[in-house]
Chain A
Amino acid sequence: MPDIRLIGRRIRATRNIAKITRAMEMIATSKMRRAQEAGLAGRPYAEKISQVLGDLAALPYGEALHPLLQHRLTNKIAVVHITPDRGLCGGLHASMNRMTASFILEQGVPVTITNVGRKGLDFMRRSGCNIRAEFTRLGDRPSLLDTLPISRVIIDDYSNGVIDAVYLAYARFVSTTIQKPIMQEILPVKPAVLPQGQSLDYIYEPDPAHVLGELLPRFVEMQVYHAILEAIASEQSARVVAMRNATDNASELIQDLTLVYNKARQESITKELLDITGGAAALA
């Protein structure tokens, strides 16, 4: 027969766990909302900058204007691997790491990793990947300024010819329940092709090359920043789901345990009664 006190203790422990996971779910929900809002707030900037870039790149001498636009023979690839710092978010980092790892294996050329977030860093270290730079502890609300060093690394490496292509690996936020790991090429920059007749004949100050030179790094910075915001929203939403499941499992467990507890309690009472009546019968 199970020990009643032991079961009681387990019930209480499980109840405490459920309280914690419920609190974590609520925290993650509010953080997710904030990350989503931050992502949405940056959207107008993103749209405008791609538009302007499209206009500029449509100029007749487009590609030669700036190193970040030049396509080269791909001898070395860099991946910016964006993962959460913290765990307890279900299978998110596992699927992120799996995607990047299989991407690395598919390439016929060396791949270096610029890692964002501790979870990916641990994995990349363990599997002996070539880590170019690592960034952790960006927090739940990074500003554009916080992400600039990351873009700096890839822009510099690309301009110096150390790497010939850069990919961003991050979890795209599809919905609260779905996060999709994606691999997106960001360098060389491929400007959006504008529909015919939409591009305007601009006056450029000081001149197109200068404007493009200033605009391109910002475009890349913006993309990296955006990917990080998206990754944060994904992380938090994955955590919401994981914590909700944990809370549900805990309540289920509490129910089962309560049943066992009551049964055991009843059994012991019956047993005691039997003992008493047995004793009384023996005395009579």
Chain B
Amino acid sequence: MASIKLDIVTAERVVFSDDVDVIVAPGIDGQLGILPRHAPLMTMLEPGELRVRKDGEEFSLAVSGGFLEVRPDRVIVLADAAERVEEIDVARAEEAKRRAEEQLSRPLPEEVDAARIQASLRRSMIRLKVVEKRRMRRPQV
């Protein structure tokens, strides 16, 4: 079966680089499945879960926005931030989520940007979700 080369890079490092079979990405206009021989595409990404399948095994990464580019021979994800499941710091994500919720529950001072807190909340929720899913799957392995 044909495979595609997937590179996930952030400004700070290369997060992932391997040949894969299927990519499911959180595109700005909805979930996006990419198989080999996809047409050239350039899309923005929503913060969300990016799933990858290789040799029947599936794993996911948390990405918080960025771009996805499909070329004939490869797929490039330019992420603002991306983590593999095993890299996610659950305690930190939970703490960030709790803090964001607390800030949003109170009336906000003028200078604080509500959208930013919401974005931060969303990011930590995605991280937690990705980890949670992996935990549920693990016993079957």
Beta-carbon nearest neighbor of A199 in chain B: B40
Given the complex, which residues of A lie within 8 Å of B72, measured CB to CB? Answer: 200
Check if A211 sits within 8 Å of B11, measured CB to CB.
no
Given the complex, which residues of A lie within 8 Å of B14, measured CB to CB? Answer: 41, 44
Check if B43 sits within 8 Å of A222, measured CB to CB.
no
Measured between alpha carbons, how far is A55 from B67 in the docked complex, in Å? 14
Measured between alpha carbons, how far is A112 from B25 in the docked complex, in Å? 43
Check if A203 sits within 8 Å of B13, measured CB to CB.
no
Check if A214 sits within 8 Å of B44, measured CB to CB.
yes
Kindly state whether residue B29 has any CB partner on chain A within 8 Å.
yes
Beta-carbon nearest neighbor of A47 in chain B: B9
CB neighbors of A among B32-67 (8 A): 39-44, 67
Kindly state whether residue A7 has any CB partner on chain B within 8 Å.
no
- Quick one: given A44-B7, A49-B78, A205-B27, are A200 and B12 in contact (CB under 8 Å)? no
Check if B42 sits within 8 Å of A202, measured CB to CB.
yes
Check if A45 sits within 8 Å of B67, measured CB to CB.
no
- Quick one: given A44-B7, A45-B11, A144-B12, are A202 and B76 in contact (CB under 8 Å)? no
Kindly state whether residue B28 has any CB partner on chain A within 8 Å.
yes
Check if B11 sits within 8 Å of A42, measured CB to CB.
yes
Given the complex, which residues of B lie within 8 Å of A9, measured CB to CB? Answer: none
Beta-carbon nearest neighbor of A143 in chain B: B12
- Quick one: given A214-B67, A215-B67, are A205 and B41 in contact (CB under 8 Å)? yes
CB neighbors of B among A42-92 (8 A): 42, 44-46, 48-49, 52, 55-56
Given the complex, which residues of B lie within 8 Å of A202, measured CB to CB? Answer: 40-42, 69
Measured between alpha carbons, how far is A217 from B124 in the docked complex, in Å? 24
Check if B39 sits within 8 Å of A211, measured CB to CB.
no
**B28: which of A38, A41, A42, A206 is its contact (CB, 8 Å)?**
A206
- Quick one: given A48-B78, A49-B78, A214-B67, are A205 and B9 in contact (CB under 8 Å)? no
Q: Which residues of B contact A (CB under 8 A)?
A: 7, 9-14, 27-29, 39-44, 67, 69, 71-72, 76, 78, 80
Q: Which residues of A contact B (CB under 8 A)?
A: 38, 41-42, 44-46, 48-49, 52, 55-56, 143-144, 200-206, 210-211, 214-215, 218, 221-222, 225
